[in-house]
Amino acid sequence: MNLSSPATQKLYDQNPYGKTFEAQVLSCCEGEKSHKGQFDIILNQTLFFPEEGGQTPDLGLLIPLPSSPDLPAGASPQVHVLDVKIKSGVIHHFCDGPLAPGTPVRGSIDWERRYDNMQNHSGEHIFSGLVHSAFGYENVGFHLSERTCSMDYSGPLTREEIDRLETAANRIIFDNRVIDASYPSAEELAQLDYRSKKALSGPVRIVTIPDCDVCACCAPHVRRTGEVGLLKVLQIQSYKGGTRLMIACGMRALADFRRKQSVLEEVSHLLSSPQEEAAMALSKKLADLLALKDALHEASARLLASDLAVLDPSAANVCLFENGIDPIRLRQAVNQMSAAHSGYCAAFNGSDSDGYSYILSIADGDARILNEQLKERFSARGGGSAAMCQGSLRASRRDLEDFFSAL
Ligand SMILES: [Zn+2]
């Protein structure tokens, strides 16, 4: 990285709604480490917000202007900005192509992504300001990417408290209050009570939401709280003695609502129940299912007992086919068979389509010999001791019966 460049002028500071800008390439060198294969381009000024303060960077394009000295007339080999970092005040644009130093460029940021970040970041300030004034907790961790907006608060919050905070946050959004971002003088700053994640030096940018929040922040924000649209808490978890929340604002909240609405519509259709009663209908279905499972187990056990009763008592080798028997009961059955038959005793549990699990035993001999034969003949997987082996295989019942009767 070129560290000798002057600090990049942050156009997004004064103009968070700017979508395009013009600038000059100061330097371009090959990217290193995680940016290998990319080009590290430094401009004199930029609208690209870098990855900073827990927020992912802006993406977009840099397009050489027609007046560029190195370009043939009409050529526009634009480069994509794939990542943006800041180091010692210098903003590095990592791009998929090079641009010669001195080239005048037009930059264009992915506005939808940026505005989405602005809505969610402003929403985070509203919520964190409310948490701070109501409970005195700090936001000790913030992560904002295209998928997630999460905050870690330094103390516990109950579901009821979070519901009340969510309602209060949305009231502030509907109030459409002005959000101000400015750099107070050192004297003004000394008088100011503001939230900050770390000790700051140099000029400090303060973002103020009247009667809600005052916070040091480097990121672009929406002009008014109304632009946040809606703030919805999506997930709550206890985290390191505090609380981790995931929220969605603006179009993200709408997209989340749509996704959940479509799941609920499908579930309520499958259950033939009104949406409001879907949870109750599902819990009744699950209770019915458990009762059916119990009934099935009982019926299977009765079937197993009658299958055992009809085994030829004079046969040395015997085998059983069952379906849906629990393994403990199957093992008891094989023990029972071994007590009455001197040869190989096998129980197969399953079906031709799903495959079988099996248990083999022999009262006086080595069950592993038969197990090896099953491996060879049916690619069975399993093992065990001389007295008993277990495994699974895929085969038809008919083939298994033929194999067994040929023993
Ligand atoms: Zn912030």
Q: Rounded to the nearest whole angstrom, what is the distance from the C-alpha of residue 126 to the centroid of ligand 1? A: 10
Residue 406, token pair as written in the block:
């040929």
- Centre of ligand 1 to C-alpha 118, Å, is 10
Distance (Å) from CA 125 to ligand 1 centroid: 6
| CA 91 / ligand 1 centre spacing (Å) | 19
Q: 176 C-alpha to center of ligand 1: Å?
A: 18
- Tell me the pairing of strands 149-153 and 242-249: antiparallel
Q: How far does the centroid of ligand 1 lie from the alpha carbon of residue 116, in Å?
A: 14
Residue-level pLDDT at 140: 94
CA angle 108, 110, 114 (to 5 degrees): 120
For residue 77 the two structure tokens come to 């080999």
Residues with CB under 5 A from ligand 1 (ion): 217
- The pLDDT value given to residue 1: 47
Q: Is 24 helix (H, G, I), strand (E, B) or coil?
A: strand
- Strands 104-109 and 20-30, by their bridges, are antiparallel
> Which of helix, strand or coil describes residue 103?
coil
Please give the distance, rounded to the nearest whole angstrom, from the Cα atom of residue 53 to the centre of ligand 1: 7
151 CA to centre of ligand 1 in angstroms: 11
Residue 405 is predicted with a pLDDT of: 87
Ligand 1 centroid distance, CA of 254 (Å): 22
Give the separation between CA 48 and CA 25, rounded to whole angstroms.
14
DSSP letter at 286 equals H
Ligand 1 centroid, distance to 160 Cα (angstroms): 25
What pLDDT score does 72 carry? 54
From the first residue on, what is the mean pLDDT of each consecutive set of 10 residues in the chain (407 residues)?
76 96 96 95 98 96 81 70 96 96 96 97 98 96 95 97 98 98 92 82 91 96 98 97 97 96 96 95 96 90 90 91 89 92 93 96 92 95 94 95 89
Write down the pLDDT at residue 76.
58
Distance 198 CA to ligand 1 centre (A): 12
Query: How far away, in angstroms, is 207 Cα from ligand 1 center?
Result: 8
Residue 298's pLDDT is what?
A: 87
Please give the pLDDT value at position 112: 97
Residue 356 near residue 348, CB atoms below 8 Å: yes
User: Comparing C-alpha atoms, which of 220, 219, 179, 216 is closest to residue 194?
Assistant: 216
Nearest to 175 by CA among 111, 130, 238, 108: 130
- Domains in the chain (CATH in brackets) are 9-109 (2.40.30.130), 115-268 (3.30.980.10), 311-405 (3.10.310.40)
189 CA distance to ligand 1 centroid (A)? Answer: 17
**Residue 69: per-residue pLDDT:** 62
Q: Give the whole-angstrom CA distance, residue 79 versus residue 399.
A: 65
Q: Rounded CA gap, 99 and 244, in Å?
A: 42
Q: Can you tell me the distance from the alpha carbon of 140 to that of 159, in angstroms, rounded to the nearest whole number?
A: 20
Q: Give the closest residue to 48 by CA, choosing from 7, 106, 107, 118.
A: 107
Q: According to the model, what pLDDT value does residue 368 have?
A: 94
Please check whether residue 94 is in contact with residue 78, taking contact to mean a CB–CB distance below 8 angstroms.
no
d(C-alpha 184, C-alpha 407), whole Å: 92
Q: How far is the CA of 106 from the centre of ligand 1 (A)?
A: 28
